[in-house]
Structure 1
Amino acid sequence: MMNAPFGFPEQDRIAFDRAELGAILSVYGRMVAAGEWRDYAMSFLREVAVFSVFRRATEHPLYRIEKRPRMRNAQGQYAVIGMDGRILKRGHDLPTVLRVLEKKLIRPVD
Structure 2
Amino acid sequence: MSVVKFFKKNNDNNSESYSANTIKLDKNFIFFSKFELTAILNLYSKQVSKGSWRDYALDNKINTAIFSVYRHTHDKPLYQIIKKSEKGFRNKPEFYIKSEVQIIIKSSELLTILSKFEKKLSIKKYGS
Q: TM-score, normalised by structure 1?
A: 0.78
Displacement, 1:99?
A: 1.4
Gap runs ≥5 in structure 1 = none
* 1:42 alignment partner, one of 38, 58, 64: 58
Query: Hey, what's the Cα distance between the residues in 1 that align with 2:46 and 2:80?
Result: 16
Q: Which structure has more strand as a fraction of its residues?
A: 2
- Tell me the equivalent position of 1:89: 105
- Tell me the equivalent position of 1:101: 117
Displacement, 1:47?
A: 1.6
Runs of 4+ in 1 over 4 A off after TM superposition: none
- SS of residue matched to 1:11: coil
- SS of residue matched to 1:65: strand
* Mapping 1:1-110, distance limit 5 Å: 1-2=2-3, 9=25, 11-70=27-86, 77-83=94-100, 85-103=101-119
Q: Which structure has more helix as a fraction of its residues?
A: 1
Q: Would you say how many aligned residue pairs link Structure 1 and Structure 2?
A: 99
Query: Hey, what's the Cα distance between the residues in 1 that align with 2:103 and 2:28?
Result: 25
CA contact (8 A) 1:3 1:10 kept: no
Query: Hey, what's the Cα distance between the residues in 1 that align with 2:60 and 2:49?
Result: 26
CA contact (8 A) 1:3 1:9 kept: no
The structure having more radius of gyration, on CA atoms, is: 2
- SS of residue matched to 1:60: coil
Higher RCO structure, 1 or 2 (CA under 8 Å, sep 6+): 1
Query: Hey, what's the Cα distance between the residues in 2 that align with 1:38 and 1:86?
Result: 21
Q: Are the structure 2 counterparts of residues 2 and 77 from structure 1 closer, same or farther at C-alpha, using a change threshold of 3 Å?
A: same
Q: TM-score, normalised by structure 2?
A: 0.68
Amino acid at match of 1:48: T
- SS of residue matched to 2:118: helix
